[in-house]
Every structure is written in structure tokens, then in C-alpha cells.
């Protein structure tokens, strides 16, 4: 999993940042020169470790990051991989497991917003990846720990629509002991399904 | 159906609609209007004596208008709740009162009024279903012009034992039992001209099923299906298709160009058979239009109420097409059935169960962790002007105007859009995780080198940033000098971020967010719009071309639009000269010195 590592020994700095440039198999690596990005990131102030990694989200990938956090005393992490909309929860969880505040992690979107959309412009994509990683390092340096609040929750579900899907959801919830409020616009539940004669693939009645 | 009606854990509200939703995951408050049924559903035994005496006759919606019902009616015999209802727009009221007289149980009440109900819920399942496509606009098929052209849903009622003909198939014009039936596929589906461009998913199999039903009734019936492709992709589907063909159903590849009515009421179909390449004419006793599936009519209203996103086809957009297929991007809201896209019964049931499981996963601990990405007031800087209170879409900020005490944020109610921080003129609000300094540091780094070549874009997490991701997933290529800075909402984009970017040498700045009405934070993007308008006016005054600041609404489903906007931005950037950038920088640096004495 470990491919190219750039370690800077600098204990003076306040922030101790680790940067992980994910190849995502070839999804990122076939367009972006991940090694160059990792090397460049290693030169940014406060970056203690910078690595190229095959799949950051995989178990071995996360293990590499967690080991680094321990070994190098990292306190902030930049994962340069896919969209945070996909894997931000994954890496926040990883931070927790490594004993760090999950909000001290920042992602640079090198896949959806770089390698996949600039496939015919490889040098430019690499330049953009460098920028994105640099921006994430600047941001992660200034992030502060945040703490989630735990609140009581209402164990009840509102189901809007009493067709076959709504009925099924309502019954499954209700059978599991949850209260359900089922709201239907018309005078009866059943929806479109109730109007059908036989239904495929079983060719039996719909009601 | 009946199980859902009598389950002790299910409270059923029929004739009801959601009119408002407030709160957040774990603790939503929902307002529901329950329209008066005018019949007490708990005591009605659905004996039907009332309908027998009701003098008002209307087309029966359940039977697609192929039969009639009274103003007091039960939609269908197995209805749940098993109770009659009065449509008060049709009823003659007190002057008639015939139903009142015959009802032994005395469950009819003309004065019953609509009820407003408030419900608290931890999660919401959106299962609003579908609307069948109305083929009237497809004039070539002559629906409504010719009585013997019916939709597949009307056909369902005509072959249903509980339908107006007790399951005996007749054609509407002369009530003759048809000896030949034609089916036209993809009516309102897979068309760039009329209806939807998407495949409606169920019509092929529904037609195959109908051919089998017909052959069961009458093995000698001549049946023809006019189609583009037969999509029999599900488990057991190909078997049904083969059975239909073995029973002699003819499948003609090609959609008819024209339908005309013959003197005897038969329908003549003109079709180019794309297998033989010849134009053929087929005379059928009855023609069935296999209509597609459209999003339910209330979809947009509910979408706005819940802050959800739609696909370009108008169905609800899921958080992730593969990994979170029943989750909405808004935590605590799940989709089931055709609300999310056309699907058959099995898939709807699967999704219903999946949505239930996802909701249980969220609720089972009885506790919910809230995101700490909320705003904070720095009391020492607050001037109690009340602007934040005004702009907060959630009413999460309060302030005592009389006492002039500092504003307070209710962090449980704050959803984290950051509009308050952007609008505060005194820098007294910190938006956690998206602070001024955190965002400005990204701007600074981005513009350190080759600033003049970059397209700086602020993108909101829920729509434009997701739209950019969607462009990526679709492998749409756009100029590589685009750089995105993510904020939770476009409402977070502070005026000073924009000035700072221009001062640092940005040739152009794009602020992008959800379409008006689609904002994930109710209406926070209204403030974005106002703000950008204001900044552009200021730019004009200063002699900076206001076109260099752009505002664009891009939804999560609009990958194509995102790529196009980026290409347009690049064109715009190319028109900004180095001299122009430099002049702007000097001007803004001078302003800076004048306003902030060092």
C-alpha cells in the first residue's frame, strides 16, 4: 500500500500535518501524477508526512494513516482522494479511531473534480491537484476541533404516501416496534397498485 | 393494505397532506391538514346504503372514469380505511340529506371540518408515488378522439374482476367484445418530443402481463404489441415474455406513426416495421396505449418543503445512486417507490423495506448526534443590530431588541448554512468549520501562483459541489483551471471573500448554489442573490467590470450544466486582461488602506 513517502522531521511547528494522495487504483493515478503531488505536499510548511497511497479508503490505507498519526504525532490529516461527499464520514471515523478530533481532517477532491474531468489534460490536472492539496493543507492548519452534541430523538417515522412502497415501509417500521404516522392524500391507501388487475411476475391479484 | 390499516403502531391519516415541516433530523415537526371525510371512519361499516340513495352521480376516479360513483362513495370495495367519504364539492348538502336518513350508525356529519394535525417524528419516508402519463398530447394516437383507444390503466380496470365490467373485456365505443387488441409501447417514455426521455421501467412487463391475461380469457384473441425494445430484464421476466410469444402474441418492432378510426369503430394502425423496413397497416378492435410513469404532482411542493433535490426527470434525487439509494441528501429523510424513479411492485417493496431499515438504523439508539458545524456569536463584537435574526432561515438566532443584549444561537436548531456570518457587518459571528480565515486561506493559496489563469468558484455542498461531482462521475470534461472552494451553502459566501479574491488577482469569481426554491437551507440562497447583486453594483461604482463576478444556480443533477458554466467562465476569464486585473488589485489595495488604518 505504501508507495512513496516523504517525511520531514520538524518538531518546531504547531501543526503536524499528514498528507495522503490517493491513487484510487488508476482512477486518479492515470491522469494525475500522484507521486509528484505527494512530493510537493511534503515540502509545504507543517507537513510532516506526505504519502502516495493506492486506496486511502481501504483498511490497509487507513491503517497506514493511523500508524503515521501514532508514529509521527500527526494532529491534522489531508486526504487527497475522492469527493468528501462520498468518503468524509469514512475518514472522520478513522480520525476518531486514531484518537484525533474528526473535524481536523480535510479532503482534496482529486477524483470527481480533477482526474475524471481533465482526462485529456494530464499536466494541467496534476497542476490543479497540487493547488487543491495546497489549499487543503492551508485550510486544515486552521481547523479547530469540534464536538458533536447528543440530543434525544423522536422514535417515530412519518411516511408520506400510502402506495405499496409506503405501506411496506410503514409495516416494517411498525413491526419493529416504531410508531408510524402514515399520511395519504386520497380517501384510501393502496395507491396505483390497487388499480392493477394481475401483477407480474407472479400473475396474481394486487390487493 | 389491511395490515397497515389495523396495525397498533400505525396511525393512518387519509385525505391528508403535509403542509409544513420544521426541525431537523431526529426531531422533525410536521403539520398535516386532514380534510373532512364527513363520515366517521371508525363507526362506518361500509354497508353502502348511503350511496344507494345519493342522487349525485360523478365519474369514478378509481375506474378511470369508466363507471360512475355517487357524491358519497368508497373508492373501491377493499379500501382502507373501509369507510365511505363525501366529496363536499359535489354533495347537495342539507337540502338533500338522503344519506343521513338511511345511515343507521349515524356516522355522517355534514359539519365535520378539516383538521390541522401536528406530528413529531425522528425520520421521514417519502413514498409519494407516481402519476400516469396523460397521452392526450400525443395526437397521432388519437387518445380522447377515438373511444377505442384506451390507456393501459383504463385497460386494467376493464379486465379487472372488480372493475366496471366485472372483468369482461369490452371496447368503450360499442361495448363489443374485441377479438383483436393492439398495444403501443413507450407512450410518454423514451421520447425527446413528448413525455419523458427516460424508460418508465414497468410498461414492457405490464403489457406482457396483459397479453397473458387476455390469452387466458380468450386463447384465440389476436394480439399485437408495437414496441422499440422489449425490456424484460428482471427475475422471471424473460420467461413471461417467451410464454407470451409462444401463445401467439405478435411483437412488431416499430412505433406507429398514425392511428385512424374505421367506420366499424376498429382502429387502423400505420407502422414502419423496422425489422422488415416496410410500412404496414394493422386493423385492431381495441388499442391500448402503454403509458409511462411521471413524478407525482405534489413532488415539487414537498421537495421545497423538505429541502430535497430532484433529478432532471423530476423524480427525487438520492444521496448516492449506488451506495445510498434510498437516502435523501438531507439526513433523516428516505425515499421509497416511484417517488425516486419509475419502478415495479417488487422494487417498490424492496425500497420500502430498505427505507424502513435505514430509518431504524438512525433511530434505534433513541439519541441523535448533531453536526457541530453551527455558528457562534462573539458577544464582545455583537452590536445587537438584529441582522442575523432576520436572515436565519431556521429562526435559530434570538435577540432581545429592547435590552440590546447580544444575539444567541440555538445550536440544535442551527443547520449551519453560515448566512448569518456572511451578513454580519461586525464580524461578530464565527461559522464553525467554515470560518473567514479558513476560507480566505484557501483563496490565498489558490491565487499565490498564476492567479490570472484561475477560475475561482465558490460551490455549495448540496447542489453545485454535488453537480461538479456529478460532472466527474459522468466524465464530462471542462477547463482544468477551475478551482472550487466548498461552503455548506452559497449563503456563506461573504462579500469580503469576493473582494479579497479580486484583490489577490482573481480574474473572475463564480458563486454557485442551489436553484432558488431548492436551497438546502430553506431560502438562504435568497440572501446570496441579494448580496451578489449588491457587490456587483459596488463593483460598477468602483469601475470594476461587474461581469467578472458571476452567480449561477447548479443543481446536484446538473453535471452537464456545471461543465457548461465552467466553459463559459473560462471564456469570460480569457476576456480579462492582466492590466485589468492589476488595476483592480491596486484599486482594492488602496481602498483597503483607506478603510483600515494600520
DSSP β-ladder status, A179-183 and B130-132: unpaired
Mean pLDDT, consecutive 10-residue stretches, chain B (598 aa), reads 94 97 91 97 95 96 94 95 96 92 94 96 98 94 96 95 92 96 97 93 97 95 97 95 97 96 96 96 98 96 89 90 88 96 96 98 92 94 94 89 90 90 96 97 97 98 96 97 97 97 98 90 93 97 97 95 98 97 95 68
Ranges in chain A annotated CATH 3.40.50: 2-142
Residue with cell 484599486: B587
pLDDT tens across A35-56, in order?
Answer: 999 999 999 999 999 999 999 9
Query: Computed over its alpha carbons, how large is the radius of gyration of chain B?
Result: 30
Taking each continuous run of H as one helix and of E as one strand, the counts in chain A are: 5, 10
pLDDT at B321: 80
Among candidate residues B333, B357, B312, B331, the one with its CA nearest the CA of residue B128: B333
Q: A8 pLDDT exceeds 80?
A: no
Answer yes or no: do A149 and B411 touch at CB < 8 A: yes
pLDDT at A108: 98
Distance CA(B328)–CA(A183), nearest Å, equals 19
Q: What is the architecture, at CATH level 2, of domain A2-142?
A: 3-Layer(aba) Sandwich (3.40)
In angstroms, what separates the C-alpha of B432 from chain A's closest C-alpha?
8
Contact B112, A146 (CB under 8 A): no
Contact A68, A94 (CB under 8 A): no
In angstroms, what separates the C-alpha of A156 from chain B's closest C-alpha?
5
Answer yes or no: do A201 and B234 touch at CB < 8 A: yes
Nearest Cβ partner for A135 among B28, B208, B446? B446
Domains and CATH numbers, chain B: 2-122 (no CATH), 131-294 (3.50.50.60), 297-363 (no CATH), 372-424 (3.30.70.20), 434-595 (3.40.50)
pLDDT at A75: 96
If you measure CA to CA, which chain A residue comes closest to B131? A192
Mapped to the 3 state alphabet, what secondary structure does B322-356 carry? CCECCECCCCCEEECHHHCCCCCHHHHHHHHHHHH
Answer yes or no: do A138 and B478 touch at CB < 8 A: no
In angstroms, what separates the C-alpha of A63 from chain B's closest C-alpha?
23
pLDDT tens across A63-115, in order?
Answer: 999 999 999 999 999 999 999 999 999 999 999 999 999 999 999 999 999 99
Contact B181, B285 (CB under 8 A): yes
Answer yes or no: do B18 and A158 touch at CB < 8 A: yes
Cell of A31: 491522469
Secondary structure of residue B186 in the 3-state scheme: strand
Contact B539, B552 (CB under 8 A): no
**Element spanning B201, H or E:** none
In angstroms, what separates the C-alpha of A70 from chain B's closest C-alpha?
25
A residues 32..71 contacting B (CB < 8 A): none
Q: Please provide the size of chain B in residues.
A: 598
Q: Which residues pair with A54 in a beta bridge?
A: none
Chain B contacts of A134, Cβ < 8 Å? 445
* Residue A134 sits at the chain B interface (C-beta within 8 Å): yes
Chain A contacts of B473, Cβ < 8 Å? 112, 116
In angstroms, what separates the C-alpha of A128 from chain B's closest C-alpha?
7
pLDDT at A1: 43
**Complex ipTM:** 0.84
Amino acid at each position: 500500500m505504501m508507495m512513496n513517502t516523504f517525511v520531514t522531521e520538524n518538531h518546531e511547528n504547531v501543526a503536524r500535518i499528514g498528507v495522503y494522495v490517493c491513487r484510487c487504483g488508476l482512477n486518479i493515478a492515470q491522469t494525475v501524477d500522484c507521486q509528484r503531488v505527494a512530493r510537493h505536499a511534503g515540502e509545504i510548511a507543517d507537513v510532516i508526512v506526505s504519502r502516495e497511497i493506492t486506496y486511502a479508503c481501504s483498511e490497509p490505507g487507513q491503517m497506514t494513516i493511523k500508524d503515521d498519526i501514532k508514529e509521527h504525532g500527526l494532529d491534522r490529516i489531508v486526504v487527497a482522494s475522492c469527493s468528501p461527499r462520498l468518503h468524509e464520514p469514512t475518514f472522520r471515523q478513522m480520525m476518531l479511531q486514531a484518537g484525533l478530533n474528526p473535524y481536523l481532517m480535510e479532503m482534496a477532491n482529486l477524483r470527481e473534480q480533477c482526474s475524471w474531468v481533465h482526462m485529456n489534460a494530464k499536466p494541467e490536472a496534476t497542476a490543479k491537484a497540487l493547488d487543491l492539496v495546497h489549499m487543503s493543507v492551508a485550510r486544515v492548519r486552521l481547523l479547530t476541533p469540534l464536538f458533536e452534541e447528543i440530543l434525544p430523538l423522536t422514535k417515530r417515522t412519518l411516511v408520506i404516501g400510502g402506495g405499496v412502497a409506503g405501506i411496506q415501509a410503514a409495516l416494517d417500521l411498525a413491526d419493529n416496534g416504531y410508531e408510524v404516522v402514515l399520511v395519504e392524500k386520497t380517501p384510501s391507501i393502496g395507491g396505483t397498485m390497487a388499480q392493477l388487475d394481475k401483477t407480474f411476475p407472479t400473475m396474481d391479484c394486487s390487493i | 393494505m389491511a395490515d397497515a390499516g389495523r396495525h397498533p403502531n400505525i396511525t393512518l391519516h387519509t385525505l391528508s397532506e403535509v403542509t409544513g415541516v420544521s426541525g431537523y433530523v431526529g426531531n422533525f415537526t410536521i403539520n398535516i391538514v386532514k380534510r373532512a371525510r364527513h363520515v366517521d371512519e371508525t363507526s362506518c361499516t361500509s354497508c353502502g346504503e348511503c350511496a344507494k340513495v345519493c342522487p349525485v352521480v360523478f365519474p369514478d376516479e378509481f375506474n378511470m372514469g369508466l363507471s360512475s360513483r355517487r357524491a358519497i362513495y368508497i373508492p373501491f370495495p377493499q379500501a382502507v380505511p373501509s369507510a365511505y367519504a363525501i366529496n363536499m364539492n359535489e354533495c347537495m348538502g342539507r337540502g338533500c340529506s338522503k344519506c343521513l336518513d338511511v345511515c343507521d350508525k349515524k356516522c355522517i356529519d355534514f359539519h365535520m371540518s378539516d383538521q390541522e394535525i401536528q406530528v413529531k417524528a425522528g425520520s421521514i419516508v417519502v413514498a409519494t408515488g407516481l402519476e400516469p402519463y396523460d397521452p392526450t398530447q400525443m395526437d397521432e394516437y388519437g387518445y380522447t378522439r377515438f373511444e377505442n383507444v384506451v390507456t393501459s390503466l383504463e385497460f386494467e380496470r376493464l379486465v379487472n374482476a372488480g372493475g366496471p365490467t366485472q372483468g369482461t373485456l369490452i371496447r368503450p365505443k360499442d361495448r363489443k367484445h374485441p377479438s383483436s387488441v393492439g398495444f403501443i409501447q413507450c407512450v410518454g417514455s423514451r421520447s425527446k418530443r413528448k413525455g419523458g426521455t427516460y424508460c418508465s421501467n414497468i410498461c414492457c412487463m405490464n403489457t406482457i402481463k396483459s397479453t397473458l391475461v387476455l390469452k387466458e380469457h380468450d386463447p384465440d384473441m389476436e394480439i399485437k404489441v408495437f414496441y422499440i425494445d422489449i425490456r424484460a430484464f428482471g427475475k422471471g421476466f424473460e420467461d413471461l415474455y417467451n410464454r407470451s410469444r409462444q401463445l401467439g402474441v405478435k411483437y412488431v418492432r416499430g412505433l406507429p406513426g398514425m392511428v385512424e378510426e374505421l367506420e366499424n369503430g376498429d382502429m387502423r394502425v400505420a407502422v414502419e416495421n423496422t425489422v422488415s423496413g416496410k410500412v404496414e397497416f394493422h386493423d385492431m378492435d381495441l388499442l391500448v396505449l402503454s403509458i409511462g410513469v411521471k413524478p407525482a404532482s405534489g413532488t415539487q411542493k414537498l421537495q421545497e418543503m423538505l429541502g430535497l433535490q430532484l433529478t432532471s426527470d423530476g423524480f427525487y434525487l438520492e444521496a448516492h445512486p449506488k451506495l445510498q439509494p434510498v437516502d435523501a441528501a438531507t439526513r433523516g429523510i428516505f425515499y421509497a417507490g416511484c417517488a425516486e424513479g419509475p419502478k415495479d411492485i417488487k422494487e417498490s417493496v424492496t425500497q420500502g423495506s430498505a427505507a424502513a431499515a435505514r430509518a431504524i438504523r438512525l433511530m434505534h439508539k433513541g439519541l441523535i448526534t448533531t453536526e457541530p458545524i453551527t455558528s457562534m456569536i462573539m458577544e464582545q463584537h455583537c452590536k445587537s443590530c438584529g441582522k442575523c435574526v432576520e436572515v436565519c432561515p431556521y429562526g435559530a438566532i434570538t435577540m432581545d431588541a429592547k435590552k440590546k443584549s447580544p444575539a444567541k444561537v440555538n445550536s440544535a436548531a442551527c443547520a449551519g448554512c453560515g448566512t448569518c456570518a456572511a451578513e454580519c457587518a461586525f464580524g461578530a459571528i464565527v461559522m464553525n468549520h467554515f470560518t473567514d480565515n479558513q476560507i480566505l486561506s484557501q483563496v490565498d493559496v489558490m491565487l499565490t501562483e498564476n492567479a490570472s489563469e484561475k477560475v475561482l468558484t465558490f460551490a455549495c455542498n448540496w447542489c453545485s459541489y454535488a453537480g461538479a461531482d456529478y460532472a466527474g462521475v459522468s466524465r464530462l470534461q471542462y477547463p482544468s483551471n477551475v478551482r472550487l472552494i466548498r461552503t455548506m451553502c452559497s449563503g456563506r459566501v461573504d462579500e469580503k471573500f469576493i473582494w479579497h479574491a479580486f484583490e489577490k488577482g482573481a480574474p473572475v469569481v463564480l458563486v454557485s448554489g442551489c436553484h432558488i426554491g431548492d436551497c438546502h437551507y430553506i431560502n438562504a440562497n435568497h440572501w446570496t442573490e441579494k448580496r451578489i447583486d449588491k457587490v456587483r453594483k459596488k463593483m460598477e461604482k468602483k469601475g470594476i467590470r461587474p461581469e467578472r463576478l458571476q452567480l449561477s444556480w447548479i443543481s446536484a443533477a446538473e453535471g452537464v450544466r456545471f461543465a457548461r458554466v465552467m466553459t463559459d467562465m473560462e471564456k469570460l476569464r480569457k476576456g480579462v486582461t492582466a492590466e485589468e486585473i492589476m488595476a483592480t488589485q491596486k484599486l482594492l489595495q488602496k481602498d483597503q488602506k483607506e478603510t483600515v488604518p494600520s
